[in-house]
Amino acid sequence: MSQIDIFTTVGLSTWTAPADFQWADVVIMSGGAGGGSGAQNVSGAVAGAGAGGGGGGWTSVSIPISQLFPTEVVRVGRGGKGGQSQTSTGTAGGAGEAGSGSYFNFSSADGGARGGAGTTTASGSGGAGGTGEVAGTAGGAGSHSATGTAGTAHTDRAGSGGGGGGGVDAAGTQRAGGAGGNCGASTRGTTLTGGTGGAAGGTAGGNGDSA
């Protein structure tokens, strides 16, 4: 006999321990972080790119039902928002928002760190992955001198980092964004492919695979 309960709604919920069960096998995934936005600058000057946010952490634990309360609180973490776009010339971008953590009982996974903003002189740094039994991987750095760096790939179950954005160099050359990191090859047997980076000129990137 088995029972599978999945919680995907952000925020607090409750879980009731089923009667006659001996163990609860729990898998916890936190929210990934948002990427930073790029700077807005005059023609002939650097507009630094925003960076990718870090992937969320992952934790798995088996807990005897006897050690749990009859009703436990579950917290589902939220993915971080991207940095706010800029419209005023000579203005730095905004950093992304960190992902928030998830927990069940005394087990948890922390959210990824926010992607850095682009400035009028430099591009942002990628956010670190969230912690847990398995940590997420870092987001890619933004770049105004080349294509944005891809998010760091992950061979395990935690979240991969987002790709870094592409900025504009002093010669006016626009750069493409980096791809999101791939995930899961060693544990799933197949790879979940990260989303493609946006083309130079400000197009949106593609969605990554889901499972």
How many separate helices (H) and strands (E) can be counted in the chain?
1, 6
Phi, psi of 160 (to 5 degrees): -95, 155
Instruction: Read off the tokens for 101.
Output: 């953590």
pLDDT in tens, 102-146: 999 999 999 999 999 999 999 999 999 999 999 999 999 999 999
Are 112 and 128 within 8 A, CB to CB? yes
Whole-angstrom Cα distance, residue 50 to residue 38?
A: 5
Whole-angstrom Cα distance, residue 151 to residue 170?
A: 25
Mean pLDDT of all residues belonging to the chain: 93
Whole-angstrom Cα distance, residue 12 to residue 157?
A: 23
pLDDT in tens, 158-177: 899 999 999 999 999 999 99
C-alpha angle with apex 192: 116 to 115, nearest 5 degrees?
Answer: 5
pLDDT at 184: 77
CA nearest to 137, candidates 32, 62, 36, 49: 32
User: What integer is the mean pLDDT of 74-87?
Assistant: 95
